[in-house]
């Protein structure tokens, strides 16, 4: 049927610390929030982005989805990490169809895995600014066995995984919808999660550089445990502002600040690397998200290091919701944690 509304999906982000779920309805010219949920995962359920303990994740995802009483079983989810390669490449100008036909062959020289072992996807960005005979393309390759573990997990939950996205592109989606891209601006989007940080630099709204940093919020816990002799539970409690025996707020603050600095130093390295490899183009503004962006010192530390404005993404900025159904304070406080899931929920069936 022509002009039929595209079918909605449930956005489910399986992070290393928790599963986040968002459902959005299409409303006049935008989206309305219609479902939301978060559930913690056991510590070793996901390691290095890979599914280690499938059955406990299945239980968590099933409970989350069932609690929402949604009509659809269709899911958009995302992956990231070592098994996913994102490259910006240049190719002679060709059509989408020609690209489709030659992608296997073209990809071979850019992908460090056997081509038969990966799922490939691409997005044509457009002609190159310096050479009009070339076009810029984003090439994405994900290891098949890695992807199929995620597909199998959702099927085991009785769900239909329909869209397989990449974490940093889901964040980009949220940025597009809520902030809109400006033709000539260069912005960096940084998702700071529990075990990794994903950097995505956009020029004029298009991704030109991505990088995964394999360290995140659990670095706080490790430092708190090591330096203050806390167990993991107490480390998480004091990290979130609570109290534990034999440690003062000052002791915690000092360890937290040091950990913040080493995390933001890693981000700075990536941003510097982008500048050094792209004819000294400078990032003009930085948007941060993920649980770690809730640590207030992260924003100021990044601003000091990078010398540009840093803003925490509000994934609900342009999304309407019914105040009877959702607690506005919870939404504001937890926004950064839901960004990836919100970006996934904005996808529609048939999207790539």
Ligand X SMILES: Nc1ncnc2c1ncn2[C@@H]1O[C@H](COP(=O)(O)OP(=O)(O)OP(=O)(O)O)[C@@H](O)[C@H]1O
Site residues (CB under 6 A) for ligand X?
15-18, 193-196, 216-218, 239-240, 290-292, 294-295, 337
Q: For residue 292, what are its two tokens?
A: 């770690």
Number of residues that bind Mg ion (CB under 5 A): 2
What is each CA distance from 233 to 11, 229, 239, 251, in whole angstroms? Answer: 29, 12, 10, 17
Tally DSSP H helices, then E strands, for the chain. Answer: 9, 16
With CB under 5 to 8 Å by kind, the binding choice for 217 among Mg ion, ligand X, none is: ligand X
Q: Which of 37, 81, 193, 335 binds Mg ion (CB under 5 A)?
A: 193
Smallest gap from residue 321 Cβ to ligand X (A): 20
Helix axes 218-228, 232-239, angle to 10 degrees: 110
Q: Give Cα 136 distance to the centre of its chain.
A: 23
Considering the rule CB under 5 A, would residue 343 count as an interface residue with Mg ion?
no
State the minimum distance, in angstroms, from the CB of residue 79 to Mg ion.
Answer: 11
Q: What is the C-alpha to C-alpha distance for residues 82 and 49, in angstroms, rounded to an integer?
A: 8
What is the C-alpha to C-alpha distance for residues 185 and 47, in angstroms, rounded to an integer?
36
Q: Using CB under 5 A as the criterion, what x/- string covers residues 11-30 for binding Mg ion?
A: ----x---------------
Residue 347 binding target from ligand X, Mg ion, none, CB below 5 to 8 Å by type: none
- When CB distances are held under 5 to 8 angstroms depending on the partner's kind, the choice from ligand X, Mg ion, none that residue 195 binds is ligand X
Closest distance of CB 301 from ligand X, Å: 14
Structural element, H or E, at residue 254: helix 249-277
Q: Which range in 71-79, 193-201, 272-280, 310-318 contacts Mg ion by CB under 5 A?
A: 193-201
Q: Is 315 one of the binding residues for Mg ion (CB under 5 A)?
A: no
Q: Rank residues 53 and 281 by Cβ distance to ligand X and give the closer one.
A: 53
Binds 196, which of Mg ion, ligand X, none (CB < 5 to 8 A, cut-off by type)?
A: ligand X
Instruction: Show the binding pattern over residues 143-182: x = contacts Mg ion (CB under 5 A), - = does not.
Output: ----------------------------------------
Q: How far apart are the first and last CA of the chain?
A: 20
Place of tokens 């480390």: 235
In the structure encoding, which two tokens stand for residue 108, read together?
């071979």
By a kind-dependent CB cut-off of 5 to 8 A, residue 187 interacts, out of ligand X, Mg ion, none, with: none
- Judged by CB under 5 A, which stretch of 8-16, 38-46, 126-134, 155-163 contacts Mg ion? 8-16
Alpha-carbon distance values, 219 to 17, 86, 215, 233, 288 (Å): 13, 25, 7, 14, 18
DSSP 8-state class, residue 283: -
Q: How far apart are CA 51 and CA 148, in angstroms?
A: 11
CA angle, residues 278, 280, 134, in degrees to nearest 5: 30
Minimum distance from CB of 169 to Mg ion (Å)?
13
Find the part of the chain contacting Mg ion (CB under 5 A) among 10-18, 139-147, 276-284, 323-331: 10-18
Instruction: List the single partner that 294 binds among Mg ion, ligand X, none, CB under 5 to 8 Å by kind.
Output: ligand X
Cβ atoms within 10 Å, residue 198: 27
Binding site for Mg ion (CB under 5 A): 15, 193
């Amino acid at each position: 049927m022509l002009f039929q509304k595209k079918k909605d999906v449930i956005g489910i982000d399986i992070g290393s610390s928790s599963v986040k779920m968002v459902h959005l309805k299409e409303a006049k010219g935008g989206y309305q929030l219609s479902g939301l949920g978060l559930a913690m995962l056991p510590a070793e359920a996901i390691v290095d982005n890979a599914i280690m303990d499938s059955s406990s994740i299945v239980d968590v995802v099933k409970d989350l989805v069932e609690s929402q009483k949604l009509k659809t079983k269709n899911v958009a989810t995302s992956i990231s990490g070592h098994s996913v390669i994102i490259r910006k490449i240049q190719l002679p100008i060709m059509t989408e169809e020609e690209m489709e036909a030659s992608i296997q062959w073209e990809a071979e020289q850019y992908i460090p895995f056997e081509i038969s072992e990966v799922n490939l996807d691409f997005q044509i960005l457009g002609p190159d600014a310096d050479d009009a005979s070339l076009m810029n393309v984003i090439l994405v390759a994900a290891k098949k066995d890695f992807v199929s573990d995620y597909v199998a997990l959702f099927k085991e939950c009785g769900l239909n995984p329909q869209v397989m996205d990449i974490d940093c592109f889901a964040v980009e989606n949220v940025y597009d919808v809520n902030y809109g891209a400006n033709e000539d601006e260069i912005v960096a989007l940084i998702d700071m999660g529990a075990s990794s940080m994903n950097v995505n630099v956009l020029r004029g709204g298009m991704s030109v550089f991505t990088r995964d940093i394999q360290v995140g919020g659990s670095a706080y816990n490790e430092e708190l445990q090591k330096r203050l002799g806390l167990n993991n539970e107490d480390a998480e409690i004091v990290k979130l502002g609570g109290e534990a025996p034999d440690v003062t707020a000052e002791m915690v603050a000092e360890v937290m600040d040091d950990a913040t600095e080493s995390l933001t130093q890693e981000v700075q390295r990536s941003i510097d690397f982008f500048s050094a490899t792209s004819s000294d183009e400078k990032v003009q503004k930085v948007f941060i998200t993920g649980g770690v962006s809730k640590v207030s010192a992260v924003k100021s530390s990044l601003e000091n290091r990078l010398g540009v404005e840093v803003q925490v993404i509000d994934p609900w900025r342009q999304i309407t919701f019914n105040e009877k159904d959702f607690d506005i304070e919870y939404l504001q406080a937890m926004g950064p944690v839901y960004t990836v899931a919100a970006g996934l929920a904005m996808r529609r069936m048939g999207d790539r």
